[in-house]
Chains A and B, each alone.
Chain A
């Protein structure tokens, strides 16, 4: 998911975090699993910390929980504000809040940073108690299934009896699907958006370019780098490249066109955003100009720069590899077999301009669920914003999600198609 440009400061007198449909100030908490956590490949960690946030209240029957699963570069902070000084709210704040599509007056919303991440959950940048150093590449190989199992432990810890709905876009959609497969009686509804049942060659290829950018950076040093150092240029380039795959030709052209930065070049704020540019300035007079020319270049550099300040390069390697490994067809024999245990009612949403996980791949999920005899729907929203469309502020999308979460209860005598 992209780091959107900062929202302009609201002129309103009321601070944004006090808006009536906002969850307001939120504090992340840590769940420390005290026992050994075994990864899919058999490797173990002595204990695991998951950082998470919750909004709303768990009801008496403990069945109004909605789990939000984040994407590759997301984290547990999906709604509200951690401090009044925050420039941006959580990444899905437009969807989650009192009276919003995921209504926190009705649902107990949970979002956790995945294992292998770098926002407070145990990951490669966490300190290995055995050595006192960051795990680095000694962190166990990671899969989406490990993310699912770890989050299930958190849900048990929170006393959730069953999930009303598990929601996720992109990698979050994979996590959500696996929840419905691995914990069928626990998962009542599945909402997967802009995702795939099988990471295809193109998506693996993009991940590989990102990993190579990181691993070819001398700062990476086989994953052994200090917390304030590491392959910053490599990680920024990985992010710049990946960011393009989250957008679309049309949306980029609308946002930047061929506008050049000459008109804005004197702005000190802009030049401060461009540390990469400083590194790549040719020291001698060149015949051609390879300095910043277009706004889109400056935007991508800014995205890269923002990312290196909040993300760990080894986490990026581990999580992209987990994405590459995701293949439900192969893991379960076929997609229908994968979905055979599912008891959740499902809704899959594709976006017309998503070329990372295109509509066909989302449609394939819904059709396989239907072939497996499950209750499943597929909706496709026309947007030109690319893969990140699932984060779109769209009343149509909100109506769909609200309709799925709050729809009339199915007749108990109903059986699956």
Chain B
């Protein structure tokens, strides 16, 4: 089995349980980037042309670059990593290296039209504070995350008793960053408790392509929310 990122071969799991190993499907790079493209396309549909957009955890600036190309936005990315900020600068995407809450704190209310938090929430120290601050500095906040309650992840834990591994989370426990898994139900509860209005919600199946119409907390692989106060 090949790890799409490193190209290293991952040994099949030897599980000490009585259950046989669930076969882990080989997920080629192209499929993952295809998934990312769909994510980008949906966010691209939501973003209004020529608006100010802040991307929290912007990585190498791919999403913002896409939005600059397609929607002529004025972009700002935030990331902790020097190399990723270098990649943004090289693309011509303005980026700020540092803590996202400290960065947002430097801006007045509604300075941005939209804050995007795409596949970042599960790694935040304090997601509630980040989303609250994002709702202060922007009129709309887009949050996208992998639904950790997706049935395959449940099966992973129930049957294999292992940390979920899939196209997005490829690494075993010991090689993974700290994560704070979130599900569709978690996020719905959070928004209702915080009185955050969900103006749009897109739920996709395990292929991140087909709309998920029923039992989203079980059947959605990916969720995108558009929030406002």
Contact = CB atoms under 8 A, between A and B. Distances in A.
Given A363-B98, A417-B74, A417-B94, A377 B106 contact: no
Contacts of A363: 98
A290 to B, nearest CB: 44
Interface residues of A, number: 30
A408 B95 contact: no
Interface string B70-99: 001011100000110111111110111110
Interface string A377-407: 1111110000000000000100110011001
Contacts, number: 83
A396 B94 contact: no
A382 B83 CA distance: 11
A329 B17 CA distance: 66
Contact of A370 (B68, B69, B89, B96): B96
Contacts of A409: 92
Contacts of A62: none
Given A370-B107, A377-B89, A409-B92, A382 B74 contact: no
B107 A371 contact: yes
A288 to B, nearest CB: 47
B169 to A, nearest CB: 27
B97 A370 contact: no
A363 B78 CA distance: 13
Contact of B82 (A375, A382, A413): A382
Given A367-B103, A367-B106, A414-B68, A377 B82 contact: no
B74 A400 contact: no
Contacts of B69: 411
Contacts of B108: 371
B97 A380 contact: yes
Contacts of A345: 94
Nearest to B79: A379
B89 A407 contact: yes
B210 interface: no
A415 B50 contact: yes
B90 A411 contact: no
Contact of A378 (B68, B75, B87, B96): B96
B111 interface: yes
B97 A379 contact: yes
Interface of A: 345, 347, 363, 366-367, 370-371, 375-382, 396, 399-400, 403-404, 407-411, 413-417
Q: Which 4 A-B pairs have the closest CB atoms?
A: A403-B90, A417-B74, A367-B106, A400-B86
19 contacts: A367-B96, A370-B94, A370-B96, A370-B107, A371-B108, A378-B96, A379-B95, A380-B97, A396-B83, A396-B86, A403-B87, A403-B89, A403-B90, A407-B91, A411-B68, A411-B72, A413-B72, A415-B72, A415-B74
